[in-house]
Amino acid sequence: MGQIKPVNYLQMIGRELGIMHVMDILEDRAPVLWTKIERFEKLAMAIKLDDPVKNAALQEVDLTGLHQKLQWLKSVLPSSQNRNGKDLLDVLDTDEISEQAEAFASDVVFSHNDLLSGNILHNPDWDRVQIIDYEYGGYNYRAFDFANHFCENCGFELDLAFYPSMEKQFAFFRAYMSTAAPDLLAELETNRESKAFFRALYNAVTRYTLASHLFWGYWALVQAAHSKIDFDFLAYAAKRFNTFDVHRELFSVPSK
């Protein structure tokens, strides 16, 4: 009996995401990242829970500290603090390929923003996946969709053993660019610069990983007050906020 070739879902998802990111959707092209996080933060700060146990857990959340982390994150990612990233590129002390990768990572494209396994369909007879459920869809920084999907690989338990390695991310980037930016990929491959580009892109994605943790951490706090779903949203929020710190240390992203 012949062996069944394993399906490389990460690369299939990369190719499909590339197709989605070049779509021209007629809606506001302003990045949704900060407006959504700040909206979730504002709602979270007004939450009061009737359940005394849940309310006690909510009181353990350091909203002041989280606000400081959010302001710091806005200083190292494109935001109104740095002319949507222009100032960051101006002071970037690095080579041309790295600057190109940083700019590529922060391009504003139509993004899914919630690319977890439940929003990806695959049939064994297909040679591609189908992305569904665009509830959180909107224009956003390209690398946020990458980082958010990599975080979702870890599941609701945030098991970092499932966070894609650098090698797997490089394969994802290559698959993604084969549909989203084939000419750029071909140029990088011809000049033998793809690995340097992917390494710089990897570094950019790590910072957006932190944005994913704050985004869904604040979201979970809001859900704890309003959702009817039987799920421990407060515990999930705590995991996302804790993993923000773990990933910042792991990726050695310096804080001011």
Quote the pTM value.
0.93
**What integer pLDDT is reported at residue 177 of this predicted model?**
99
CB-hemisphere CA count at 13 Å for 167?
Answer: 0
**What integer pLDDT is reported at residue 134 of this predicted model?**
96
* Residues 6+ positions from 168 with CB-CB distance below 8 Å: 10
Task: Give the start-to-end residue ranges of the domains of the chain.
Answer: 9-250
Q: Which of 5, 4, 6, 16 lies closest to 172, judged by CA?
A: 16
**What integer pLDDT is reported at residue 2 of this predicted model?**
40
Between CA 82 and CA 183 the distance in angstroms is 30
**What integer pLDDT is reported at residue 50 of this predicted model?**
86
Question: Considering the chain, what percentage of its residues have pLDDT values greater than 90?
Answer: 84
**What dihedral angle (degrees, nearest 10) is formed by the CA atoms of 112, 114, 101, 72?**
130
Of 218 and 252, more confident: 218
Between CA 149 and CA 198 the distance in angstroms is 17
Count the neighbouring beta carbons within 10 Å of the beta carbon of residue 232.
Answer: 14
Give me the mean pLDDT over the 239-251 stretch.
95
State the chain's maximal CA–CA distance in angstroms. Answer: 62
**What integer pLDDT is reported at residue 4 of this predicted model?**
41
- Least confident range of 42-46, 88-92, 145-149: 88-92
For 74-126, write each residue's pLDDT tens digit.
999 999 999 989 899 888 778 999 999 999 999 999 999 999 999 999 988 88
Of 70 and 126, more confident: 70
**What integer pLDDT is reported at residue 3 of this predicted model?**
41
Question: DSSP 3-state assignment of 111?
Answer: strand
For 4-26, write each residue's pLDDT tens digit.
444 589 999 999 999 999 999 99
Give me the mean pLDDT over the 125-143 stretch.
95
Hey, what are 95's tokens?
């080579």
The mean pLDDT of the chain is 93
- Least confident range of 4-13, 35-44, 79-88, 203-212: 4-13
Which CATH code, of 1.10.10.10, 3.90.550.10, 3.10.129.10, 3.90.1200.10, is assigned to 9-250? 3.90.1200.10
For 153-199, write each residue's pLDDT tens digit.
999 999 999 999 999 999 999 999 999 999 999 999 999 999 999 99
253 band by pLDDT with thresholds 50, 70 and 90: low
**Structural contact between residues 220 and 234, judged by C-beta atoms closer than 8 angstroms:** yes
Q: Which of 117, 155, 158, 145 lies closest to 31, judged by CA?
A: 145
Query: In sequence order, what are the beta bridge partners of 121?
Result: 130
